[in-house]
Amino acid sequence: MSKRRERDLADQVFSTRDFIRTLSHREFVTSLSLALFLLSLCLIVDYYDNEDWVEANETTIKWTLFFLAMPSNHIFYKQEHRRSNNFIGRNIHDYIFLIFFAFVINSKNYLYGLGFTMHFKGGLGGAIAWLFIIVLFIMTFETVIAFIKRGLNFLGWRVL
Amino acid sequence: MARALKVKIAIGCLAIFILVLIPLLDTKFFAQVTIKRWGQLSWHDFKGIVPPFTSYGAGISSKVYLEYDSSRRKYFAYAGQNNIRSWVKDTAQQNDYGLNHEQYHFNITELHARMLNDYIERNPKGTFELFALRHASLNIDLARMQDQYDSETDHCLVYDQQRRWEYRVDSLLLREAGWHTDYFSGAKAYFPDVPDSINGFSNSSVYRSFSLVKYGMQFSMFSYHLGDFKINDLNASVNSFENQNGRTVISVNVDSTIYDFEAFAVSSDSIGYNHYTKWVYSSPYLYKLYSWYPNMKGDTAGYIENALSFINSFQIVNTDKYWVDKFEASDSPIIASKLVKMERKEENEKSQYCMYSGTSKPLGFYRGPFYREDGGMLLAYDYLIHADSLRYQDVMSLNQDWYSYKPTSEAQIYFVPAIRIPKEILDIKVGYILLQDTTKECYEFYHDRVDTPPND
C-alpha cells in the first residue's frame, strides 16, 4: 500500500504522461502570447530607459517581468485544464515558453533590421553548457514555484 | 471560444500593438532622419516625438559613427546627432539652459569620437575588426559618462555641477590648446575656452590680461609690469584691495616659498558672488588670477572646483626662447646710429635728425632686456598708446647708441648684437617717433626708460 502510494506520488510529480496526453495548441498559444507580452513590456522599459528610475532598475524590472511571465503559463494551464500541471509538465511548459521567447526576440530583431542571430560562445561545448545551465535553472525555479504553490494552497488561493 | 483563450489572444494583440507602436514613435513614423555632425545645436535639431508621460523636458540621441573614407583610404569616426530620436517639449523650447545641457551630451559624444580617431591614428594598419572592437568598448565608456553626467547634474537641475561638467568637457575637448601664455610676462594658465585678450593701463601701471566669462563665472589672468616692488604688510594690502572693491574678505593666505610672494584671497560681495583672487609677485611682474562665481543658487562645490582648477593651473614660464625664435624668423632692417647732444641742427648736414627727448613714461608692456646665447641683447615691447600706423620709427637708445626699427603691428623686438653692447649699460630708452611729428623741425622721442639688465 505504502509502496504504491510512493509510486503514485513519483508518477504525479515526474510523469510526463498527463502533460503530453493533454498537450494541445492551448499551451503553445499561452507561451506565445506571454512571450510577446514580455517582449513588449521589455520594449517599453527600453523606451523609457532615460528616466532615472527605469535606468537605475532596468535589469531588476526585466528579470521581475520574466519571473512573473513564467508562472503565468501555469496559471493559464490550471484555468484551461482545471487541474494543476505537475513538476515535470511545468518544466516542459517553461522550455516551450523559453523557445517562444527566443523566437520572438529574434523575429523582432529581424523585422527591425538587426538580423537573426543565435550563437554560443565556445561552439557546441558552449551550447551544451548553456543547455545544462538552463535545465538546472528551470528545475530550481520550478522547485521554488512548487513551494510558492504550497504556500498559496495553504492560503486557499489555488491559482497555480 | 473559451474565456482563457480570449484573454490570451487579447494579451497577444496588445503585445503586438506595443511592439509596432514603440518603433513608430521612436522613428516618428519613419520620418526622414538627419544625422547632424558635431557642432552647435539648436532646438530645431530636436524633431522627435516626445515620449508619453516622460518627466524630462528634452532628450538627445547622439552616437559615434565609424566609417571608411575611400579617398583617404582610412577609417574615421565622427559624432552624429539623430534629429528624429531627439525630442523636446514645447514648454522647454524657451530654455537655452536646457539646450546647453543637451549640447554637452553631444560634446561628450564628440570627445569619444576624437578618442576613436586618435586610436585609428595610432594604428594606421588596423583592420575594421580592430576599430569596431575599440568602437564597442568606447561606446560602453560613452554610455557610462553620459549617465554620470545626467546623474551628477540631475539632468541640469544642479547648476554648479552642470557648470563643472561643462568646464571639464570643454577642457577635454580643447586638450593642450587650452593653455594660454602671455609671452611678455611668462604667465601661463589653462582656459577651457578661448579667452579675450585685453591690454591697457590701470592706475598708471600697464597690464596684459586674458579673460573668459563662461559657465556663469569669470576667469581672468592679469600681468602687471611693476619692476622692483616692495610691500610691507601683504595681508593688510590684500584686505584693503578687497574692501576697496566692495567685498568682504572671508580668508587670506600668504606665502613666499615659491615666488617673491603670493597671496590667495576669498571674498564675497553683497550681490551674491564669491571672488577668488590669487596674487603672485615674481620680479618684475605682478600676476593676478581672478575668478568669481554665484553663491545664491544652492550648492557651489562645482563652481569652486572650476575656480580652483583655473587658479591652480597658473605657472610662470620663461618665454625668452619664444622671442629669440621670433626675432630670428624676422628680416626687419635695423638702422644703427649715434646720438650726439647738440644745441641746434647743422644747416648742411642731411643725415642728422633733430630730436628731443620728452619725459619717460610707460608706453606699453615689455619683456627684457635679456641675452641670447651668443650675448646679443633682446627686448620685446608691446606699444599700447599709439598704433603702428601712427608711428614713424620704433627706436631704442642704448647709452649713446640709437637703433631704429620699422614699426610693426605686433610687438617690436629690439636687438643689439653682442659686439655693440657697451661694457656698462647706463640707460636704455625704448619708444618711437610719431608720423605726425615728421613734418616738424624737431621730432619728439616718446619713450619709456626700461630696467637695465644685469652685466654678466
Q: What is the ipTM of this complex?
A: 0.89
Q: Shortest Cα distance from A113 to chain B (angstroms)?
A: 12
Which residue from B15, B56, B151 is facing A39, i.e. has the nearest CB?
B15
Q: Considering only CB atoms, which chain A residues are within 8 Å of B62?
A: none
Please indicate whether, in this complex, the C-beta atoms of B12 and A44 are within 8 angstroms of each other: no
What is the tens place of the pLDDT at every residue in B274-291? 999 999 999 899 999 999
Which of the four pLDDT bands, split at 50, 70 and 90, describes residue B114? Answer: very high
Q: What is the mean pLDDT of residues A95-119?
A: 85
- Residue among A22, A25, A52 with most chain B CBs within 10 A, to mutate: A52
Q: What is chain B's percent helix, strand, coil content, to nearest 5?
A: 30, 35, 35
Indicate yes or no: CB of B11 within 8 angstroms of CB of A108: no
> Which run of H or of E encompasses B216?
none
- CA nearest A80 in B: which residue? B4
pLDDT grade, residue B454 (50/70/90)?
low
| Residues of chain B contacting A76 with CB distance shorter than 8 Å | 4, 7-8
Of B15, B56, B59, nearest to A37 by CB-CB distance is B15
Contact B8 A76 (CB under 8 A): yes
Nearest CA in chain B to A79: B4
Report the gap between the CA of B203 and the closest CA in chain A (Å): 55
**Do A47 and B51 count as a contact with CB atoms less than 8 A apart?**
yes
pLDDT of amino acid B453:
72
Instruction: Judge if pTM exceeds 0.90.
Output: no
A40 contacts in B (CB within 8 Å)? 14-16, 18-19, 22
- B151 interaction partners in chain A (CB closer than 8 Å): 52
* Chain B contact set for A57 (CB, 8 A): none
Question: Rounded mean pLDDT of chain A?
Answer: 88
Cα separation values, B39 from B109, B110, B143, Å: 11, 9, 20
When pLDDT is cut at 50, 70 and 90, the band that residue A3 belongs to is low
Bridge partner list, B393: B433
Phi, psi for residue B214 in degrees, rounded to 5: -160, 165
Q: Which of A44, A79, A80 is opposite residue B22, by nearest beta carbon? A: A44
Q: Which of B3, B11, B33 to mutate to test the interface with A (most CBs of A within 10 A)?
A: B11
Answer yes or no: is pLDDT of A27 > 80.
Answer: yes
| Residue A8 to chain B, least CA–CA distance (Å) | 30
CB < 8 Å to A50, chain B: 54, 56, 59
Please say if the pLDDT value at position B141 is more than 90: yes
Q: How confident is the model at residue A5 (pLDDT cuts 50, 70, 90)?
A: low
Contact (CB<8Å) A47/B16: no
Q: Which residues of B touch A33 (CB under 8 A)?
A: 8-9, 11-12, 15
Per-residue pLDDT tens for B300-311?
A: 999 999 999 999
What's chain B's average pLDDT? Answer: 91
Nearest to B19 by CA among A37, A106, A30: A37
CA distances from B309 to B68, B276, B367 (A): 39, 12, 28
**Cβ atoms within 10 Å, residue B262:** 20
Instruction: Name B17's Cβ contacts closer than 8 Å, sequence gap at least 6.
Output: none
- pLDDT tens readout for residues B211-224: 999 999 999 999 99
φ, ψ for residue B60 (rounded to 5)?
-125, 145
- For chains A and B, what is the number of CB pairs under 8 angstroms? 64
Nearest to B363 by CA among B222, B204, B203: B204
pLDDT at A118 over 80: no
- Cβ contact (<8 Å) for B59 and A50? yes
| B5–A37 C-beta distance less than 8 A | no
Q: Do B4 and A26 touch (CB under 8 A)?
A: yes
With an 8 Å Cβ cutoff, the interface of chain B facing chain A consists of 2-5, 7-9, 11-12, 14-16, 18-19, 22-23, 25-26, 51, 54-56, 59, 147, 150-151, 155
Find the CB nearest A40 among B19, B26, B59: B19
Query: Do B306 and B236 form a contact (C-beta atoms < 8 A)?
Result: no
Give the mean model confidence (pLDDT) for residues A50-79. Answer: 93
Average pLDDT over residues B420-426: 82
The alpha carbons of chain A give a radius of gyration, in whole angstroms, of 18
Contact present, A57 and A141 (Cβ < 8 Å): no
B2/A48 touch (CB, cutoff 8 Å), yes or no = no
Partner-chain contact B12 A37, CB within 8 Å: yes
In this structure, of B28-37, B65-74, B97-106, B430-439, the range with the lowest mean pLDDT score is B430-439
Instruction: Evaluate if residue B148 carries a pLDDT over 60.
Output: yes
Angle between the B301-312 and B159-174 helix axes, to the nearest 10 degrees?
30
